[in-house]
Amino acid sequence: MDNGVQEKPYMREDGLPENAYRKLKPGEKYQPVVPSGAPLPEITKYSVLWGMFYAVLFSAAAAYLGLKIGQVFEAAIPIAILAVGFSYVTKRKNALSENVIIQSIGASSGVVVAGAIFTIPGLYILGIEASFFQIFLASLFGGFLGILFLIPFRKYFVSDMHGEFPFPEATATSEVLVAGESGGKQAKILVNALIVGGLYDFLVSGLGLWKEVVSTRVFSWGKQLANSVKLEFNVNIGAAVMGLGYIVGLKYALIIACGSFLSWWVFIPAIFHIGKFVPGPILNAVQPISQMLPGDIFTEYVRHIGIGGIAAAGIIGIIKSRKIIIGAFKLAGKELSGSGKDKTEQKVQQGRLHRDISMKWNVILILASILGIFAFFLILVLHGNFIHALVGLGIVVVISFLFTTVAARAIAIVGTNPVSGMTLMTLIISSVILVAIGLKGNQGMLAALLIGGVVCTALSMAGGFITDLKIGYWLGTSPRNQERYKFLGTFLAAASVGLVILMLYKTYGFGPGGLEAPQASAMAAVIKPLMTGQPAPWLLYMAGVILAIVLELLGIPPLAFALGMYLPLYLNTPILAGGIIAHLVAKSTKDKSLQSARKERGTLIASGFIAGGAIMGVLAASIVFIGKTFIVDDWTIMKAIGTLAWSKSSGAEILGFVMFVLLLFYLYWDSKRAKID
């Protein structure tokens, strides 16, 4: 482990290069902030110990808050801010690459927690108790598979496709890290935006001074439309989500929004119209369509079309990427046979920025993980049934491998990983297969949810890790170091989440009368009827599959569109608003240099909004958690300060819309203040 610090390493002092976010011209190369030939210290006692500390701390915090409050926060940005802040306070010089490693190790927390709490509590809700080792090993092996399956595709996503994907979360985190290291004008812009975005989001989500989700139902005509034909418009007015839209850009924001508009303005009214002629509930719904609100129709029916679309878009992406996948297998074969030695040596000579864990070790670790998963299923889940364990292993490996690239692509496009949708599809497929081989009842539900837990964690890790690797690519951190130490963060996060879930279950319980665990409750609700012979909504899934195929034939990215169909309208409309502001800023001048400066300043401001929203979201949830733990179960900040009733009123909703318009104007105005040096 290197503890040395170079006296005068080369590093850009003006932030990320101009070509960091755009496509490269023919013959042009991207030079990161820290060049290949002049590295900063990366793997030191400082970076590893702080990364381990944040992995444990944020795993416990994310699991507590995710299960008790119902919010799962992404840890990457808060950890980056803390790492930058601590290195500044301690006057640690040249800490940029160390902070990247800290963030990469620590960020294992959020993705592992999401994989666990989306699935495992569903067992307790179904009356099945899971042991610590079942939770720990499902999270651990899922995390390992996510890392190992993604490594062969690192070069494709972060280098070969440079400028093709916006990588919104990686952009925000990179801007935080580089601005904190370089200081000066960039840091000032970022800090100002962080304060504005953080304060704005805390005033709405923490104090309830205006409503967070604004809907046309606040107006009499909007309420009439929603009640009569189930047509409504709503928008989350948060600064963080809108900032995400600015970085995503107008192209992808518009595709995502169009998917959402199709769901909410076409499918929901159409299903309601048909449902008026059907007196009873359809499929697994508990009430007739005629009595449902638009949100109920979306959850029970339309969202399944989006899930089918995501699955089909993933398969289409796999088919289109078949050369890359085949190439990864060929490289593995050459390295294992020894015939790829010369090429490997040439790659090493190109510099540390091109160096991954060797394919030989990657394959060995994949095989070891597969054997571990098989032993886990055979001994701790299926009590010695070889065939059932083999089938479970097959489901995990095939789905995790195939959908790794889907998770990575989703994060690269919109910063949102549809892991719950893909896990839901995994649970349905698993249940159908397990029932077909005679595995039903509690044993079947245990196996299906633990299979889902492994897959969910693998896909969550793949999406989160591609963000880390893109940050490292932009800033000039060795990918091999990020990959090696990601395993350490995963191990600590898996152990932490196992302990926290068990402690919360024994203290509060899950489901009605305990912690809500909304995602896991939904998984449990889906899996129980499948294990008892009730039908799945295959027709809706097929509708999504057909739609994805049509979109691909029309040249429209089906994954982005299907993501829009799957996510609620109120999350997609602010992304569109941010994308529109990015377009207006870019078109506000014909001067190419000034245009670039304005867009870069806007990116920095949007990154500040995301960072501020993330920090304040954690703070607000933590305050509520403390209040619920030490004061009263239903304690909230809004109740304590008397704004709860106001936050639900029409006045707060109208004020929320006004404040959102002002925030959009601020982003546009401040971005245009950029000057050419």
Cβ-in-10-Å burial (0-12, 13-18, 19+) of 549 comes to middle
Predicted local distance difference test score (pLDDT) of residue 374: 95
Provide the token pair at 37: 């030939």
Is 13 within the bounds of a domain?
Answer: no
* Lowest-pLDDT choice from 222-226, 261-265, 575-579: 222-226
Instruction: Give the residue-averaged pLDDT of 254-279.
Output: 89
Is 106 within the bounds of a domain?
Answer: yes
Predicted local distance difference test score (pLDDT) of residue 417: 61
Predicted local distance difference test score (pLDDT) of residue 346: 44
Instruction: Give the residue-averaged pLDDT of 263-279.
Output: 88
Residue scoring higher pLDDT (189 or 67): 189
Say if CB 316 and CB 405 are below 8 A apart: no
Is 15 within the bounds of a domain?
Answer: no
Is 7 within the bounds of a domain?
Answer: no
| SS3 (DSSP) at 235 | strand
Predicted local distance difference test score (pLDDT) of residue 390: 94
Is 604 within the bounds of a domain?
Answer: yes
Write the pLDDT tens digit of every residue in 378-411: 998 888 889 999 999 999 999 888 888 888 888 8
Instruction: Tell me: pLDDT of 332 over 80.
Output: no
Residue scoring higher pLDDT (48 or 274): 48
Residue 33 DSSP symbol? S
Predicted local distance difference test score (pLDDT) of residue 669: 94
Predicted local distance difference test score (pLDDT) of residue 479: 92
pLDDT confidence of 229, banded at 50, 70, 90? confident
Identity at 408, one-letter amino acid code: A
pLDDT confidence of 339, banded at 50, 70, 90? low
- Count up the domains in the chain and report the number: 1
Predicted local distance difference test score (pLDDT) of residue 516: 63
Cβ-in-10-Å burial (0-12, 13-18, 19+) of 296 comes to middle
Write the pLDDT tens digit of every residue in 592-632: 888 878 887 888 888 788 778 777 776 776 777 777 777 77
Dist CA 343 CA 335 (whole Å): 9
Q: What is the 3-state secondary structure (H, E, C) of 377-415?
A: HHHHHCCCCHHHHHHHHHHHHHHHHHHHHHHHHHHHHHC
% of the chain at pLDDT higher than 70: 88
Say if CB 117 and CB 449 are below 8 A apart: no
* Lowest-pLDDT choice from 180-189, 456-465, 467-476: 180-189
Residue scoring higher pLDDT (660 or 169): 660
Say if CB 653 and CB 208 are below 8 A apart: no
How many of the other CB atoms lie within 10 Å of CB of 274? 11
Instruction: Tell me: pLDDT of 7 over 60.
Output: no
pLDDT confidence of 338, banded at 50, 70, 90? low
Residue scoring higher pLDDT (418 or 4): 418
Residue scoring higher pLDDT (291 or 348): 291
Dist CA 373 CA 346 (whole Å): 35
Say if CB 250 and CB 559 are below 8 A apart: no
Say if CB 444 and CB 431 are below 8 A apart: yes
Write the pLDDT tens digit of every residue in 125-148: 888 888 899 999 999 999 999 999
Nearest CA to 571 among 406, 463, 414?
414
User: What predicted TM-score, i.e. pTM, was given to this entire model?
Assistant: 0.77
Instruction: Tell me: pLDDT of 367 over 70.
Output: yes
Domain that holds residue 422: 45-219+234-266+277-671
Predicted local distance difference test score (pLDDT) of residue 487: 95
Is 154 within the bounds of a domain?
Answer: yes
Average pLDDT, the chain: 83
Is 415 within the bounds of a domain?
Answer: yes
Predicted local distance difference test score (pLDDT) of residue 3: 43
pLDDT confidence of 10, banded at 50, 70, 90? very low
Is 20 within the bounds of a domain?
Answer: no
Write the pLDDT tens digit of every residue in 413-454: 766 666 767 777 788 888 888 888 888 888 888 898 899 899
Predicted local distance difference test score (pLDDT) of residue 4: 41
Instruction: Tell me: pLDDT of 100 over 90.
Output: yes
* Lowest-pLDDT choice from 168-182, 295-309, 526-540: 526-540
